[in-house]
Amino acid sequence: MSERLRVRTLFFGVYGEMANGREGMTELPGGSTVGDLVATLRDTRGFDWLPERVVVAVNRRYAETGTPLSEGDEVALIPPVAGG
Amino acid sequence: MQERDGHDPVEARVRTRITRESLDEPGLFGDLGAGSDGAVLIFQGRVRDMDEGRTVTGLAYEAYDEMADEELRAICREAADRFAVGAISAAHRVGELEPGEVSVSIGVAAPHRAACYEASRFVIEEIKARLPVWKHERYADGDAVWVGAPEGLAARAEARPEAGEDSAKDEG
């Protein structure tokens, strides 16, 4: 078996309401990226409502689709912000 | 990133917070800046009582607290770096707010007014573009929505059975 990694996922705003809980854990193959996580959530975890190009933050910083993930990362799924 | 050991001149010029406490009280900016800052500009964003023709009865701001703290600080540091200002203070409310309450407040002190206006505008625009804060707005007709949510998604979320309970809950 190849190495696996687990990340903590956080859902905010309308995503939190859709996700049935604002926090979860997702296991991925080693070497996975933000894009791989989003695809996994959409395709195999029932989060088909998640936009393909969802904005993501890794460890509290905005990240790109290609950003690599590490064991224990905190990954937030960020709907359009509405502060101010 | 700020240096924790050495002197950080930008850090000394910014003051930020994400808070559940009222931002309505006067005097938040009385001590902002130094004697050389002859201009002080204060911007307040308030909860409006109408949105797109609907009467707003209240709203809840949700934040990704830890990231919002860091992001608000980063925004103000960028502004302090970019414009000739002495000091910047910015705060954003979270939790339950009523129409008329201050949701965001920004104070800028500078030697001259032009930099105040530029920096203040920069901070509010960046807050709106990137501060991880979300607004759940409630209306007089009983409806409630996550403002800015993708249209199909907003409708699906509100149709969920627990949505009504959730929006009625007072987060204090």
CA B149 to CA A82: how far, in whole Å? 9
Dihedral-angle region of residue A80 (phi above 0 means left; psi in -120 to 50 means alpha; beta otherwise): beta
The H or E element spanning position B71 is: helix B65-82
Residue B146 within any structural domain of the chain:
yes
Residue A75 has pLDDT above 70, yes or no: yes
- Can you name the residues that pair with A74 across neighbouring β-strands? A8
Q: Answer yes or no: is B20 within a domain.
A: yes
Q: What is the DSSP string of B73-103?
A: HHHHHHHHHHS--SEEEEEEE-EEE-TTSEE
Inside any domain, residue B104: yes
Which CATH number do you get for residue B145?
A: 3.90.1170.40
What structural domains and CATH numbers belong to chain A?
4-78 (3.10.20.30)
Q: Does residue B113 sit within a domain?
A: yes
* Residues of B in Cβ contact (< 8 Å) with A14: 134, 146, 149-150, 153-154, 157
In tens, the pLDDT along A2-50 reads 699 999 999 999 999 999 888 999 999 999 999 999 999 999 999 999 9
pLDDT at B75: 98
Q: Is A16 on the interface with B (CB under 8 A)?
A: yes
Question: Does residue B123 lie in a domain region?
Answer: yes
Q: Which domain holds residue B89?
A: 11-168
A83 touches chain B (CB under 8 A): yes
Nearest C-alpha in A relative to B104: A84
- Give the total number of structural domains in chain B: 1
**Considering the domain boundaries, does residue B48 fall inside one?**
yes
Helix (H, G, I), strand (E, B) or coil at A59: coil
Confidence band for B1, pLDDT divided at 50, 70 and 90: very low
Is residue B161 scored above 90 in pLDDT? no
Residue in B70, B134, B154 closest to A81 by CB? B134
Of B45, B148, B162, the CB nearest to A80: B148
R_g of chain B, CA atoms, integer Å:
18
Do B157 and A18 make contact, defined as CB atoms within 8 angstroms? yes
Residue A63, strand partner residues? A56
- How far is residue B79's CA from residue B99's CA, in Å, rounded to a whole number? 29
**B23 φ, ψ to 5°?**
-110, 10
Of B133, B153, B166, nearest to A82 by CB-CB distance is B133
Closest Cα in chain A, distance from residue B131 (Å)? 7
Chain A residue with minimum CA distance to B162: A17
Is B101 a member of any domain? yes
Would B2 be classed as within a structural domain? Answer: no
User: Do residues B140 and A41 lie in contact, with contact meaning Cβ atoms separated by under 8 Å?
Assistant: no
